[in-house]
Structure 1
Amino acid sequence: MERSGEFQKWKTQSLNKADLSRKGSVDEDVVELVQLLNGREQFFTTSSCAGRILLLDGNIDGSEIQKQNCSWLLVTHRLCAKDEVLSALKTARGDAVLKFEPFVLHVQCRQLQDAQVLHSAAVDSGFRNSGITVGKRGKTMLAVRSTHGLEVPLSHRGRLMVTEEYVDFLVKIANQKMEENKRRIERFYSCLQLALTREEAAAPRLEAKKGTLPVYTHRRKRKTEKTQGRPGSPEKREDLESDSDCADISLGFFPENY
């Protein structure tokens, strides 16, 4: 199967799968971005999150929280209020942690140069932790990520370890990060639209350039009269002038695979 046909098969299979995320649907703030990508034949999205503030209750394993073993006390993709967090903390029984997780997006790309277009738009928009991975069978994946996350422990074994004032301070920081996150998503969408428009405008010119037939110039070989340093006869000079008039003849050759 051709590369383009195989990619289209992957895309159809992926987009027809059920959404197995906790929310079960694409987040509102990235719907247009996801639609923009999936509407282009050279891309399809495999997962996304617009960014969220959450409060998890569980055990801390080193520096990483194993979310599958935690209780989700609070999760929102919008700005959060201090009272929401304090109310959720009352139900904590383990080590509760307040987190802000920024926007993340995974996009399968038809080829490396397509991924590079997305990567450039992502970096220009502030998602400087984005990266491209080329896997088996030439599968090219772009992960759009950011580093402006937040993770702060608030309780231990169900006991609140910080003041309400500090919780209020952390919620304000998380909200600021959420607002910046949304601005970056909007910039990414605008940068991507512009990049794709430029790519589409350049495509016909590239195709036309590829289709141009090579042109060669045939020049007649002039016969010069070999005399003992004297100019040729008038008849000879007339013949040479006639040859000069027809010297440049453009010949178009068929492509090799004609």
Structure 2
Amino acid sequence: MADFKRWKEQRLARADVSRKGSVDEPIEGIVRLLNSHDRFCTTSSCSGRLVVLEQPPLPPSAEATTGFEIQKQNCSWLMVTHEICTIEKVLTALQRASDDALFKFEPFVLHVQCQELQDAQLLHKVAIEAGFRNSGITVGRKGKIMMAVRSTHCLEVPLSRKGKLMVSEEYVDFVVQVANQKMEENQRRIDRFYSSLQFALENQYHSSSLSFEEKEKSNAMHYYRRIKKSAETQKDECHSPGKNSGLESDHET
């Protein structure tokens, strides 16, 4: 526990090295809530975003196993927003493309390091019930426990080829509307996750405290009843009439 606490303090003291440099506003409450508990530490997050991404064609000489990494490194972001957007913004971004361009919706994602497996299981249950059904838990070789909140309602559509728009503006408008609907659903799931997480953490703390208090109370009552029963037994033995001398034998025959 001391090691996790020390690691968490060091982690949260680091500068935010993400592209944006800060936590997205729609999930600030979730991040603060988790980091306020000793058992959790958030490591990365994104509230969800709409992106127009330009990526050059993969060189024929590139190995298939490293192709994804090469594409990722060479990507250029032409537009990114964490809110719903308009077709005008997407078309303006596409006009700046000189290579292949994609329009993408990426849902909420959150990575949390947990102190114990049961803590990760609690988050996993909350995430699944909120609609983030691609969530999962991983345990590293050294016992590092990570919980990832993920969803499957993504969207990725190629729109231009070598800087030329390959679809009609009407289709672009349709795709943007679909993505906006996914973004709105994404926010509803975030709200459910936040509410359920608050309830789960409060309820777990209350249950733990209650169970400890009930256990102490139960032990005290058990001790009291045992003493009372022992006293009553001794009283009965002292005043019970015996057949002969007035004293009962220790063993039955």
The TM-score by the shorter chain falls in which range? 0.7 to 0.9
1 CA distance for matches of 2:161 and 2:6? 49
Report the counterpart of residue 69 of structure 1 in structure 2.
74
Change (3 A) 1:178 1:69: same
How far is the alpha carbon of 1:136 from its aligned partner?
3.2
Q: Which deviations, in whole Å up to 9, do the C-alpha atoms of 1:20-43 show, x marking residues without a partner?
A: 110000000000000000011110
Q: Which residue of 2 aligns with 1:6?
A: 3
**Amino acid of the residue matched to residue 50 of structure 1?**
S
Q: 2:115: which partner in 1?
A: 110
Matched-pair contact (CA < 8 Å) for 1:80–1:171: yes
Equivalence for 1:144: 149
Q: Matched residue of 1:33: which SS?
A: helix
Which residues of structure 2 form unaligned runs of 5+?
A: 59-63, 235-240
Matching residue's letter, 1:51: G
SS in 1 for 2:80: strand
Q: Which runs of 5+ in 1 are unaligned?
A: 221-231, 244-258
Q: Using a 3 Å threshold, how does the CA distance of structure 1 residues 18 and 166 change in structure 2: closer, same or farther?
A: same
The Cα shift of 1:126 comes to 0.1
1:180 equivalent among 143, 163, 185: 185
Distance 1:64 1:174, change over 3 A: farther
Q: Looking at CA atoms only, which structure, 1 or 2, has the larger radius of gyration? A: 1
Provide the residue aligned with 2:243 in structure 1. 234
Partner of 2:237: none
Q: Which has the higher helix share?
A: 2
Q: Matched residue of 1:106: which SS? A: strand
For 2:209 and 2:88, the matched residues in 1 are separated by: 57
Instruction: Tell me the residue number matched to 1:228.
Output: none
Q: Is the 8 A contact 2:79 2:93 kept in 1?
A: yes
> Do the aligned residues in 1 keep the contact of 2:113 with 2:146 (CA within 8 Å)?
yes
8 Å Cα contact 1:30-1:185 kept in structure 2: yes
Helix, strand or coil: the match of 1:55? strand
Q: CA shift at 1:67, angstroms?
A: 3.1
SS in structure 2 at match of 1:54: strand
Indicate yes or no: 2:47 matched with 1:50. Answer: yes
3-state SS in 2 of match to 1:239: coil
Q: RMSD over aligned Cα, in angstroms?
A: 2.6
Match of 2:35 in 1: 38
**Cα deviation digits, residues 78-104 of structure 1 (max 9, x gap):** 101000001111111000000000000
Query: 1:80-159 residue pairs with structure 2 within 5 A?
Result: 80-159=85-164
Q: Does 1:192 align with 2:218?
A: no
Normalised to the residue count of structure 1, the TM-score between the two structures is: 0.81
Q: Is the Cα contact below 8 Å between 2:55 and 2:75 reproduced in 1?
A: yes
Q: Among residues 78, 89, 93, which one is paired with 2:83 in the alignment?
A: 78
Give the residue type in structure 2 aligned to 1:28.
E
Counterpart position of 1:224: none
Distance in 1 (CA, whole Å) between partners of 2:116 and 2:142 is: 11
Deviations 1:103-141 (A, max 9, x none): 000001110001111100000000010001111332111
Deviations 1:124-174 (A, max 9, x none): 000010001111332111000001000000011111100000000000001
Higher share of residues assigned strand: 1
Whether contact under 8 Å (1:56, 1:67) holds in the other structure is: no
Aligned residues: 228
In structure 1, distance between residues paired with 2:90 and 2:242: 107
Which residue does the alignment assign to 1:250? Answer: none
Percent identical residues: 54
The answer as to 2:16 corresponding to 1:16 is no
Correspondence for 1:223: none
